[in-house]
Amino acid sequence: MSYFLIIIGAIFVNNVVLAQFLGICPFLGVSKRISTGVGMTGAVAFVMVIATIVTFFIQNLILIPFGITFLQTISFILVVASLVQLVEIVLKKISPPLYQALGVFLPLITTNCAILGVAIMSVGNEYNMVEAVVFSMASAVGFGIALISFAGIREQLDLMDIPEGMQGAPVALVVAGILALAFMGFAGMV
């Protein structure tokens, strides 16, 4: 499969948030400001790529050879949770300022189903290692584009006069739906 198709497909056509509906909690919860959206995007991208690499090896070196692929979901969940803890410990020791910047986002990543979903989709699509890494990076970029653009729209909505019944979550869900429809326009590309 062409890397270009994987990239375009993961970013625009099959966006993990807007088409696959994975990672909705951070999408709605962390999208009130662009700065928090950028921080969450960076943290998710890092963990998503590392988790995809580790789960690729677990799938191909342990689960498939021993015929225990039924343990895929639970083992992938343990990998994601362990990686987040490991990243938290390493960042705390190596770069305290970066740890402080991402400190709020690291616990949220543990429950972000987009990371688990990308790892499972990489295995399910039978990507090789390079294709899996490209797919995870492109999925992280797609997550970031959706999150940051949504955060920018929400910042602009704070400046507008919105009817009282539509303020907060209702208008955010309407905007998320319109954003998903806009991304659906890319479906003819791949």
Q: List the domain boundaries for the chain.
A: 10-182
The H or E element spanning position 85 is: helix 72-94
Which residues of the chain carry a pLDDT beneath 50?
none
The H or E element spanning position 27 is: helix 24-29
Q: How many CA atoms lie within 13 A of 97 on its CB side?
A: 0
Q: How many CA atoms lie within 13 A of 98 on its CB side?
A: 12
Please tell me the predicted confidence (pLDDT) of residue 103: 65
CB neighbour class for 118 (10 Å; exposed up to 12, middle 13-18, buried from 19): buried
d(CA 58, CA 90): 22
Alpha carbon dihedral 177, 190, 133, 117, in 10-degree steps, equals 40
Please tell me the predicted confidence (pLDDT) of residue 102: 66
Please tell me the predicted confidence (pLDDT) of residue 139: 95
Digit-coded pLDDT (tens) for 108-150: 776 678 899 999 999 999 999 999 999 999 999 999 999 999 9
Please tell me the predicted confidence (pLDDT) of residue 1: 58
Please tell me the predicted confidence (pLDDT) of residue 85: 84
Please tell me the predicted confidence (pLDDT) of residue 183: 85
Please tell me the predicted confidence (pLDDT) of residue 132: 95
pTM of the complete model: 0.86
Please tell me the predicted confidence (pLDDT) of residue 190: 63
d(CA 27, CA 174): 14
